């Protein structure tokens, strides 16, 4: 039993590390003003969802429109610099995981926006991909 628990914990750590890496790559895309790189972490599945104060959006194409409408990716002053801190990570079986974090957007004029985010990720052929995102 102890060996099985140890293997499960090692697997969880490896999953958390891979998810942290994927999240960091997405953040890097945001900070570079590259919306496509930012969105690479999202699954191409049309049922992939994002929900925030404006409501529910389904599919990566609709998410791209939402982000382009809300943020000016060409202008760092309007896009801000993104940071995400992991608060919790939980495997949900072999191929799914829950990531809970806090995002912070810092703007050159000194103001910032911050809030919680929770994402469900699915381990697909291309790595860990977000299938559900709730940020507020």
Please write the tens of the pLDDT for every residue from 21-41. 999 999 999 999 999 999 999
Rounded to an integer, what distance in angstroms lies between the CA atom of residue 17 and that of residue 23? 10
Residue 72 scores a pLDDT above 90: no
Q: How far apart are the first and last CA of the chain?
A: 40
Rounded to an integer, what distance in angstroms lies between the CA atom of residue 28 and that of residue 113? 18
Where is pLDDT greater, at 13 or 65? 65
Q: What is the DSSP string of 80-115?
A: -EEEEEEEEEEE-SSSEEEEEEEEEEE-TTS-EEEE
Rounded to an integer, what distance in angstroms lies between the CA atom of residue 47 and that of residue 59? 6
Which secondary-structure segment (H or E) carries 66? helix 60-70
Domains and CATH numbers, the chain: 2-135 (3.10.450.50)
pTM of the predicted structure, to 2 decimals: 0.86
Rounded to an integer, what distance in angstroms lies between the CA atom of residue 67 and that of residue 49? 13
Calculate the average pLDDT of the chain. 90
pLDDT score recorded for residue 6: 38
pLDDT score recorded for residue 54: 87
* Band of pLDDT at residue 10, cut at 50, 70 and 90: very low
Report, as an integer, the average pLDDT of 84-92. 97
Please write down the HEC assignment for all residues of 10-54.
HHHHHHHHHHHHHHHHHHHHHHCCCHHHHHCCECCCCCCEEEECC
């Amino acid at each position: 039993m102890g060996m099985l628990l140890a293997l499960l914990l090692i697997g969880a750590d490896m999953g958390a590390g891979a998810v942290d890496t994927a999240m960091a790559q997405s953040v890097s895309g945001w900070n570079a003003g590259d919306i496509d790189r930012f969105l690479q972490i999202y699954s191409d599945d049309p049922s992939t969802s994002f929900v925030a104060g404006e409501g529910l959006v389904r599919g990566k194409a609709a998410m791209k429109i939402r982000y382009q409408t809300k943020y000016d990716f060409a202008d760092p002053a309007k896009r801000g610099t993104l940071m995400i801190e992991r608060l919790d990570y939980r495997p949900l079986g072999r191929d799914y995981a829950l990531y809970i974090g806090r995002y912070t957007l810092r703007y050159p004029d000194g103001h910032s926006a911050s809030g919680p985010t929770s994402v469900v990720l699915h381990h697909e052929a291309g790595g860990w991909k977000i299938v559900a995102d709730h940020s507020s």
